[in-house]
Amino acid sequence: DGGITQSPKYLFRKEGQNVTLSCEQNLNHDAMYWYRQDPGQGLRLIYYSQIVNDFQKGDIAEGYSVSREKKESFPLTVTSAQKNPTAFYLCASSTRTDEQFFGPGTRLTVL
Amino acid sequence: AQSVTQLDSQVPVFEEAPVELRCNYSSSVSVYLFWYVQYPNQGLQLLLKYLSGSTLVKGINGFEAEFNKSQTSFHLRKPSVHISDTAEYFCAVSEPQGAQKLVFGQGTRLTINP
């Protein structure tokens, strides 16, 4: 089955730690995205990548980093510089001209 | 810059009643429009999309939406809802050119009561 997988489903982090969220797609999509979802605020774009080895900041990139070494993978690192990282993180992918397909999400909680 | 406003944060309706979820957008260029549904603790699933052509768009699960350029609206409708439609609904907009970044509204929580 084609789709997007995210792991882990739940993640707990101590303050001061960096954590990496995984996102993999087998849809052969060029573009991939990371969104953060907080209650009552919809989804906000963190980073996006239109092609391998290239990515751009979204609206709320501070405290996050990404890489795009393979077409299928777009991991997100939440660094200790992110002051309020507790949220639901969603990864998506798309062709250049159509809808975005979303993964099941990772819920990150800071202890 | 683009923005999306979903006018109702919560909409309660009775089962088998009709429902309309409102969405207005602002953009200085032409747009693509989308409605997504999110069930608790899950990702987003596309309900329908408007890219071009007919302004009345039909989607999955009996939903439809109408693009109104003059009113910059893209309201979602269903003539008869079911308990299973209880979820959060997001309207989103993107530009046809460029990176296909989506700008989302804040979401509308639809609650269906028996």
Nearest Cα residue in chain B from A33: B101
Would the CB atoms of A103 and B104 count as touching at under 8 Å? no
Q: Average pLDDT of A34-50? A: 92
- Is the pLDDT at B97 greater than 80? The verdict is no
Contacts of A101 in chain B (CB under 8 A): 46
Please report, for residues A61, A63, B3, the alpha-carbon distance to residue B43 in angstroms, rounded to integers and kept in the order given.
21, 23, 22
Determine the pLDDT at residue B105.
94
Determine the pLDDT at residue B16.
97
Share of chain A above pLDDT 90, in %: 79
Residue type at position B73: S
Query: How does pLDDT run across B22-49, given as a tens digit for each residue?
Result: 999 998 788 899 999 999 888 999 999 9
Determine the pLDDT at residue B64.
97
Model confidence at B98, in pLDDT bands (50, 70, 90)?
low
Nearest CB partner across the interface for A102, out of B44, B96, B105: B44
- The answer to whether B90 faces chain A, any CB pair under 8 Å, is yes
Determine the pLDDT at residue A105.
95
- Is the pLDDT at A40 greater than 80? The verdict is no
- Is the pLDDT at A26 greater than 70? The verdict is yes
Determine the pLDDT at residue A16.
86
Query: How does pLDDT run across A69-87, given as a tens digit for each residue?
Result: 999 999 999 998 888 999 9
- Is the pLDDT at B79 greater than 70? The verdict is yes
- Residue A8: asked if its preceding bond is cis (omega within 30°), the reply is yes
Please provide the average confidence, as pLDDT, over all residues in chain B. Answer: 93
